[in-house]
Copies of this chain bind each other. A is one copy, B any other.
Amino acid sequence: MDYKDAGVDVEAGRAFVEQIRNLVKSTTRSEVLGKLGAFSGFFELPSGYQQPVLVSGTDGVGTKLKIAQAVNSHETVGIDLVGMCVNDVLTSGAEPLFFLDYLATGKLDGAQLTEVVAGIATGCRQAGCSLVGGETAEMPGFYQPGEYDLAGFCVGIVEKSRILDGSRVEVGDIAIGLASTGVHSNGLSLVRKIVSDRQLSWSDRPDTFTGKTLGEVFLTPTQIYVKPVLEALRVQHLPIHSMAHITGGGLPENLPRCLGTGQSVKIDPTSWQIPPVFDWLAQMGEVSPDAMFNTFNMGIGFVVLVPPDGVAATLEWFASQGLGAWAIGEVVPGNGELLGIG
């Protein structure tokens, strides 16, 4: 008996590492040392920081993977994976430096997992960070045939005196919402339940989506906000006080996390155009407006807080980058709540 009899094919693992070599290389920044196949990833600290702080985050894609696996389309979930991690790291004002992935599957399917890694590499290039390591775990009996799980990990860097958190926020600051590309990577369990309960199929093309299948609509990759936001901070010097990434729990859960003490934020849900996908979900699933806001991003994937006199320049900057941006609310005295909905 040997390891292959037990369902683990070490040779297939080695072949896979060769297949993804060029994908990994496409993300390489000048600070990367060493090579694929080493025990670890090496990244030389960028110069120019006085008191560098490392900012790290980890996340997965959740059950969005189930949709990718149902429609056998694996090229975008890697973008979601990178997006979920780098957008979190970005909230502090940090520049994402490098990324690692963990990919677990029941039976290693090299073609399928190469598509997944291609998406991760695309996401890393969009975020300007290097893919410096990863683990591909073949775990027989743990995952169903054709299924895999994904986790990602990102490290960024920020000057200590420039860390953004609630401490800079003032009552009267304006919340600028940046457009999401759809549900991103949160709330997909509810999406799947609605699609299943209504006996729909991922290949259906409801009129709302002008020719797109449900699979295509719900696999739209997560917007990566790194480049326009970092340039807003470091090149345009826009007066951003704090930032929030709108993920699980929606605006009510995430926007208050970027406030200072003694502050709430009042939003006006009519101030931006909620994308049709959310109306469709609310209607098909008979989901209350409250539950919709507590589960989905409702079209706002990232929020920056600026003083009133910075609003016009901030809106203009993001519009110039092709990213929808709206003044969606205002910081008010309070106790860490989101007001204005429900």
Binding site for B on A (CB under 8 A): 1-3, 5-8, 10, 33-34, 37-45, 51-60, 62-63, 65-66, 88-89, 91-92, 94, 97-98, 100-102, 104, 132-135, 137, 139-142, 147, 149, 151, 153, 155-156, 160, 163, 165, 187, 189-190, 192-194, 197, 244-245, 248-249, 253, 257, 285-288, 291, 294-295
Contact = CB atoms under 8 A, between A and B. Distances in A.
Contacts of A41: 55-57
Contacts of A193: 1, 5-7
Contact of A155 (B2, B56, B194, B288): B56
Contacts of A294: 2-3, 10
A101 to B, nearest CB: 7
Given A1-B193, A141-B192, 6 more contacts: A42-B163, A44-B53, A45-B51, A56-B133, A60-B137, A60-B139
A305 B35 CA distance: 21
Nearest to A287: B1
Contacts of A248: 10
16 contacts: A1-B197, A2-B288, A3-B189, A3-B295, A6-B192, A37-B257, A39-B57, A39-B92, A41-B56, A42-B53, A42-B54, A54-B54, A56-B132, A60-B139, A102-B151, A149-B149
Contact of A40 (B55, B132, B253): B55
Contacts of A295: 2-3
Given A42-B92, A42-B163, A257-B38, A190 B57 contact: no
A155 B54 contact: yes
A2 B98 CA distance: 36
Contacts of A6: 189-190, 192-193
B1 A291 contact: yes
Query: Residue among A7, A137, A151 with the most chain B CB within 10 A?
Result: A151
A92 B193 CA distance: 47
A42 to B, nearest CB: 6
A155 B100 CA distance: 11
Contacts of A102: 58-60, 102, 151, 153
Nearest to A59: B135
A268 B312 CA distance: 73
A314 to B, nearest CB: 20
Given A1-B291, A88-B39, A98 B56 contact: yes
Contacts of A244: 39
Contacts of A40: 55-57, 88-89, 91-92, 94, 156
Contacts of A194: 1
Given A40-B88, A62-B139, A187 B3 contact: yes
A5 B2 CA distance: 44
Contacts of A91: 39-40
A42 B60 contact: no
Contacts of A58: 100-102, 133-135, 153
